Structure 1
Amino acid sequence: MSFYKMFDFLRELNKNNNKEWMDAHRKEYHEVRDFYIDWLNEMDMKLANVNPNYSHTPGKKAINRINNNLLYHPNKPVYKDHFGAGLDLEKGKGDFYIHLGINGSFLAGGFYKPKSNTLKSIRDAIDYNGEKLKGIIEKPSFKKMFGDLEDEEMLKTSPKGYSQDHKHIDLLRHKSFAVIRTVTQKEVLDDSFNDHVIEVYKEMLPFREYLNEAVTVKG
């Protein structure tokens, strides 16, 4: 089994996105899923060697369901076009997310559109010590790896409780605090992919640590 087989399976599933096809190919699905879980277990051990504070996450816990939640998104297809998983997973904190799919793959981390109390904690941390976060995200190697923070739905004005001339207003306007490293299918299939995942994890780690500390500080 390999990532080649995973992408082949996802392409076929995308062309036959229905329960009947999945039921007929259930064995193949479990083979691909088991391969991904084994790979996640391998990465779990490798990342633990990088970070002494790493939260061990078995592959079966890390992997996301392939079914879309049709209750909340009835117009989506029955099945996703990717396999997703979160490593270094701990309740209430931002994980290291791995998304491998036929319509795009990426490695990400942080908080994407967090709940209001989580967002408030992050903004409080920026108000207290935004220089530290800026130092992390403006580091040349970080910029090269991720570019800028995700900027969907940024506030046009200052958030409640902060003035327009706050020295970190550019950060405070964010509704998400997340970064993404896009990876091509060719990169995923390359023998060096595991090393690349580790490299991305290491570069992202100070960013995730800053945010995770912010959301665990009790006001």
Structure 2
Amino acid sequence: MIYQESLDFLKDLAENNNREWFLANRERYDVAKDNVVDFTAQLLAKLQKIDPAIDESTDPKKRVMRIYRDIRFSKNKTPYKNNFGVSIPSMGSKPGTVEFYLQIQPGNSFIGGGYWMPEAPNLKTIRQEIDYNAGELRQIIDDKEFVKLFGDFKKQEQLKSVPREYGADNENIDLLKLKSFVGWHKITDKEITGSNAVQLVADACSKIYPLNVFLKNALA
């Protein structure tokens, strides 16, 4: 489970997002991060049974993302994120592509997966796979358990116009216009701090896994 103290640290950090406060509370950060790393280790053990391509030697410390923000090109100059992010690439994918993603944040924790905002070459390849094999994707995203957890997959951000490679009358245009291919499910503070939190997250990942398989096969 994620300890309430870890959420309390993140809440206080959001209210005091500056270097002086962070250094004064560095010990709290270290304890909270260790908690997240331990949670990630437990989650990886379960995910390896869901996604066989996740290496048993995966270091949970390397799956927890840095809390330091890259402010070079951002108008927001606060130096720290107000959440812990855990990125677990699926089926040997590179980080930032097809993955499971866990965000831990007071009032805004969630588990997600798929591929968020693919770069142009990968987006083109995924669209080609959808054009050839949309039935398989629809079977995944229209599954009752998938919809129950992640809602309507097609209601993600879409292009305002039709992709130039396809016609407006394409029967799969609702999927071809998508900019991202992800499912995400919100987790309450009570759930993430509960004794069943790791299993809850793993169960959601098991429903995301077929989507990750479809996307990874498209990019193979």
* TM bracket (short chain): over 0.9
Residue in 2 that maps onto 1:80: 81
Pairing partner for 2:163 from 138, 159, 166: 159
Residue in 1 that maps onto 2:50: 50
Residue in 2 that maps onto 1:141: 145
Residue in 2 that maps onto 1:40: 40
Pairing partner for 1:91 from 74, 79, 94: 94
SS across alignment from 1:110: strand
146-155 or 103-112, which moves further after superposition?
A: 146-155
Residues 1:40 and 1:105: Cα distance change in structure 2 (over 3 Å): same
Pairing partner for 2:209 from 167, 182, 205: 205
Q: Which amino acid aligns with 1:193?
A: A
Pairwise mapping of residues 179-194 of structure 1 onto structure 2 (< 5 A)? 179-194=183-198
Residue in 1 that maps onto 2:63: 62
What is the Cα deviation at residue 150 of structure 1? Answer: 6.6
Q: Which runs of 5+ in 2 are unaligned?
A: none
SS across alignment from 1:108: strand
What is the Cα deviation at residue 194 of structure 1? Answer: 1.4
Q: Which amino acid aligns with 1:15?
A: E
The percent of aligned pairs where both chains have the same amino acid is 34
Q: Specify which structure has the bigger relative contact order, considering alpha-carbon pairs within 8 angstroms and separated by 6 or more residues.
A: 2
Residue in 1 that maps onto 2:135: 131
For residues 157 and 63 of structure 1, what CA distance do their matches in structure 2 show? 37
Structure 2 length-normalised TM: 0.92
1:65-119, Cα deviation, whole Å (9 max, x unpaired): 1111111213242211110011245316411000010240100111111110111
SS across alignment from 1:97: strand
Q: Decide whether the 8 Å contact of 2:2 with 2:192 is kept in 1.
A: no
For residues 38 and 158 of structure 2, what CA distance do their matches in structure 1 show? 38
Residues 1:199 and 1:2: Cα distance change in structure 2 (over 3 Å): closer
SS across alignment from 2:84: strand
Structure 1 length-normalised TM: 0.92
Q: Which segments of structure 1 move beyond 4 Å, counting only runs of 4 or more?
A: none
1:100-139, Cα deviation, whole Å (9 max, x unpaired): 1024010011111111011111101001101100111001
91-100 or 111-120, which moves further after superposition?
A: 91-100
1:23-54, Cα deviation, whole Å (9 max, x unpaired): 11112211111121121111111111233233
Residue in 2 that maps onto 1:113: 117
For residues 165 and 2 of structure 2, what CA distance do their matches in structure 1 show? 51
What is the Cα deviation at residue 161 of structure 1? Answer: 0.9
What is the Cα deviation at residue 160 of structure 1? Answer: 1.3
Q: Decide whether the 8 Å contact of 1:98 with 1:108 is kept in 2.
A: yes
Q: Which runs of 5+ in 1 are unaligned?
A: none
